[in-house]
Structure 1
Amino acid sequence: MARRIRSLSCGAALGMAAAAVVLLASCTPNSSTVHSSLPNTAQTPSSSAAARAAVGGSAGRTTAGSPATTAGSPATTAGSPAATADSPAQTADSPAQTAGCLSLPASPTVKASVTAAYRSQAQPRLSHIAPVKGTFYYGSCDGIFYAGTRFQPTAGSTTAEQVALQDDGAAMKYFVDRPGAGWSYAASDGFPADHRGCAAITQIPAPLAALWNDCRSTAAQQ
């Protein structure tokens, strides 16, 4: 009887020991589970840092690129004055003008026409004459042409012609060419000539006389 009780006690003790082992085994953490979760946690800061770096790099490139675009603007603006610089050259090539009047170069044809007009209209008639070199003025105002010059005798002139071209005959003569009318004698300087030059001749428009420097200098003489 005592032997059976000891056997039952040993069996109970062994059962409790086995149960304790099983209980301890079930409470021990799984090492593979612990290790597998750690990398995921460690990777999270790296991913965030990479994302921040990418955003920062993008912002840096956008900001740095902006000045390049802005810097190009002055180049376009700097080119503008070049077109404006060409204007004075065109003005310098134009005839002198003011108040609708122009001082023009006189061609040989114009000089011949003015001389022919004075030949036929002078009293007495003058056949052997020519403009004195460097005294011819020519221009226009509002479509009407004007000329002024002195005359001198040429080879073959008669005594009467030579006398006619002295004193007041040697003064400046003025002519007008109206549309459809041709050149005609208009006026003459007095003798002695007025100190105001052709500004004193009412048949010559004042703006044109001013362009001719009142017929007192070589600036407009031809």
Structure 2
Amino acid sequence: MRLGRALTAAVAVTALAGCGGDDDPAGEQTTAPAAELDVALDAQLGVGAPTGPEYPPGTSGLVADYTVTNNADVPVLVVQRRPADITPEVDVPLPDTDESSWVYADDAGQILVTKEVFATTGGDTGTAYRAPAVRLEPGETVTGRAFALTPLRRIAPDSGTFEVPGPSTLPDDATSWSFCVQVAPDPGETGEPTMADHTPDRRLVCSTPADLPPDALGAGS
């Protein structure tokens, strides 16, 4: 990922969806409203090859080249890649690179290629699950790339531990896909930036949908 400072706020999409705020178990108490973040995603969706030597020659898939801009007045975290330690085993190798992404479908049947940390199903598990992240100061931008191997496989963490939206398989009749990246206000933790499953006010910023290319779905989805 490359960091820079935005001189102009040219953005394509700012779509924020709730994704992992902490619920108050005391039903009569009210929780503070989620922080409003002015964070924008500009993404170019297409088909291409992954970068680097981790994949064999001839590999291709869905590609998102994107820029995230922090237009807020507070620092934010942006997830950099899929966490390797909770990535499942599928029928093909899944190298751990900055392009590593989750692949699943939402409730409407659209394919999502994402970089995020999911909430856990049972509340506090005693383990902090984290994804590498980038810290953006107000006015800064970061560029990145996401890759999803085709034919697409559903790549999501264990459903017994994490809350993953949508069906347990990719729908055969899916016709579109989007790229989404998770952002949150920087809580000010020490050390290398990471997004944790307990980081407050996490949000997904998603691109405008694009058509799935022919034969993007196949065996293993």
User: TM bucket by the smaller chain?
Assistant: under 0.3
Which structure: greater strand fraction?
2
Instruction: Please report the TM-score for the alignment, with normalisation by the length of structure 2.
Output: 0.24
RCO higher in structure (CA 8 A, sep ≥6)? 2
Which structure: greater helix fraction?
1
Instruction: Please report the TM-score for the alignment, with normalisation by the length of structure 1.
Output: 0.24
